[in-house]
Chains A and B, each alone.
Chain A
Amino acid sequence: MASSDMQDVKRRIRSVTSMEHITNAMKLVSAAKLRKAKAIYENTDENFQYITHSIEEIFNNADEVPRQYLQGSRQIKTTCYIIITGSRGLCGAFNSNVIREAETQMAKDQEEPLLITIGSKGRDYFAKKGCHIYKEYTDPPESIPFLVTQEMSRPIIDMYNEEKIDQIVLIYNSYLSQLEHEVSVKTLLPFAVEQDPDIIRYHKEVEYEPSVEDVFNYLVPKYVEITLYGAIVESATCEHAARRMAMENATDNAREMLDSLSLYYNRARQAAITNEIIEIVSGSEAQK
């Protein structure tokens, strides 16, 4: 048990301690950010439930929905994927889950898909793979205001109307609880009208003004904007939750490592002392 060995262990203990400090601090920071993001998320989620619900009800009940927005109105060739990831790492499988799901979805397509990435992690990955990225937004998702999502969705809807793309799919992390989130794949357009007979159809006529078509031409982009914004907020919340969890695990692991390292160090130190005593004792024995 040489003293250089003890030196090594000591150095490792020092580095693991500082790592533990960092991960612990990051955990606290993400916990605070998570609390803030969660408040925003819950707020928008509740509001958007109303809106999406009312829009979906209208979709399901109006007889003269413009055909181009309905499922089955055209063959699906080119799909536009909107992939929401984070812009930073150190959050466990948060980004890679979304990327993996996007890849499996894309593998099913015959035509080359159109990619829109939000958050730089997804951008980096698909750019490296040589995929064509139509548009990218690299700002961290939590700092994207509603106005920007409006600008994001406008060209997508235009392309949809010009039949350059036939389907818009959103892939993001959806929030289940602080400890659980799940990748969800949502088709924004074309809209699937529920043919379910269980859905109550209105027994009253609904007035549309100026006309059904105009109302729809307003509502469909709104629906896309709102869902997109909701997904971004949700994904940001998930990112903080995932990072908090990853950092908690890292802190726990660092502490465990510190425990075993200090045990090893103490043993080594004790062995060195014992060695020295033996040397002294045997030295004095020899002099007798």
Chain B
Amino acid sequence: MATIKLEVITPSKKFYSGDVELVIARTLSGEEGFMAGHAWACKLLDVDALWIREAGQKEFRVAALAGGFIDVKDTIIIYTDAAEWQEDIDKQRALASKEAAERWMATEQKHDPNEIARAQIVIAKAISRMKVADSGKRR
């Protein structure tokens, strides 16, 4: 099966680099799969899971992405603010950050739209991380 080079980059490190058969990411309008020879595209990604099937593998690798964008050309580059493999996710911590943000939202008095938006992003990220940690196999 044809493969395509994928790079996943976060501000702190190169999260992933390798040849893959299939990349599934959630764009703003829904999940989308990218394979070698995909039409060139530049799309924004939602806070959700990223599925990667590496060359010659049957199983998918799953990571949680904190939004970002995907640039599909002869190689695929994904830029994201944060990424985490399924096996590295600390569910307790995700749950704690979600609860802390929710508690803050409940007691919030100032109604600063920026702060509220940030808290909502924190909650979305935490939910997505917990979902990724729990998600089963994809065939």
Contact B43 A208 (CB under 8 A): yes
A214 on interface, CB distance cutoff 8 Å: yes
B79 near A209 with CB under 8 A, answer no
Judged by a CB distance under 8 angstroms, whether A256 is at the interface is: no
Residue ID in chain B nearest A215 by CB atoms: B42
**With A58-B42, A219-B69 given, is the CB distance from A209 to B27 under 8 Å?**
yes
B interface residues, tally (CB under 8 Å) = 23
B39:A207 contact, CB within 8 angstroms: yes
Q: Are B39 and A47 in contact (CB under 8 A)?
A: no
- The answer to whether B79 touches A222, judged by C-beta atoms less than 8 angstroms apart, is yes
State whether the Cβ of A2 lies closer than 8 Å to any Cβ in chain B. no
B79 to chain A: which residues have CB within 8 Å? 51, 54, 222
Bound form: Cα–Cα A54–B40 in Å: 12
Which A residues touch B27, using CB under 8 A? 209
Instruction: Report which B residues bind A (CB closer than 8 A).
Output: 7, 9-14, 27-29, 39-44, 69, 71, 73, 77, 79, 81, 114
Closest Cβ neighbor of A209 among chain B residues: B43
**A51 & B77 in contact (Cβ 8 Å cutoff):** yes
Closest to B15 in A: A47
Question: Could you tell me if B9 and A209 are in contact, using CB atoms closer than 8 angstroms?
Answer: no
Q: Known contacts A58-B71, A215-B69, A218-B69; is A210 also within 8 Å of B29 by CB?
A: yes
Chain B residues contacting A179 (CB-CB under 8 Å) are none
Which bucket holds chain A's interface residue count?
A: 20 to 34
Find the A residue at minimum CB distance from B28.
Answer: A210
CA distance A208 to B81 in the complex (A): 20
Distance in Å: Cβ of B35 to nearest Cβ of chain A: 15
- Contact across chains for B40 and A204 when beta carbons are under 8 A apart: yes
> Does A146 lie within 8 Å of B12, measured CB to CB?
yes
Which residues of B lie under 8 Å from residue A171 when comparing CB positions? none
In the complex, how many angstroms separate the beta carbon of A251 from the nearest chain B beta carbon? 35
- Of A46, A208, A229, which is within 8 A of B41 by CB? A208
Residues in B whose Cβ lies below 8 Å from that of A207: 39-43
A205 and B40 contacting across the interface, CB-CB below 8 Å:
yes
User: Measured between C-beta atoms, what is the minimum distance from A66 to chain B in Å?
Assistant: 14
Which residues of chain B are within 8 angstroms of A58 by Cβ–Cβ distance? 42, 71
**Which chain B positions have C-beta within 8 A of A43?**
13-14
A229 contacts B40, CB within 8 Å?
no
- What are 18 A-to-B residue pairs whose CB atoms are below 8 Å? A43-B13, A47-B9, A47-B10, A47-B13, A50-B77, A51-B9, A51-B77, A51-B79, A58-B42, A154-B114, A206-B41, A207-B43, A208-B43, A209-B29, A209-B43, A210-B28, A210-B44, A222-B69
Q: Encode A198-227 as 1/0 by CB contact (under 8 A) with B.
A: 000010111111100011001100100010
Task: Determine whether the beta carbon of A215 is less than 8 Å from that of B40.
Answer: no
Q: Is A46 in contact with B14, judged by CB distance below 8 angstroms?
A: yes
Q: Does A44 contact B (CB under 8 A)?
A: yes
- Give the distance in Å from the alpha carbon of A64 to the alpha carbon of B79 in the complex: 22
Q: Which residue of B lies closest to A43 (CB)?
A: B13
Q: Which of A54, A150, A210 has the most CB of B within 10 A?
A: A54
CB-CB nearest in chain B for A206: B40
Among A202, A205, A214, A215: residue with most chain B CB under 10 A? A215
Q: Are A226 and B11 in contact (CB under 8 A)?
A: yes
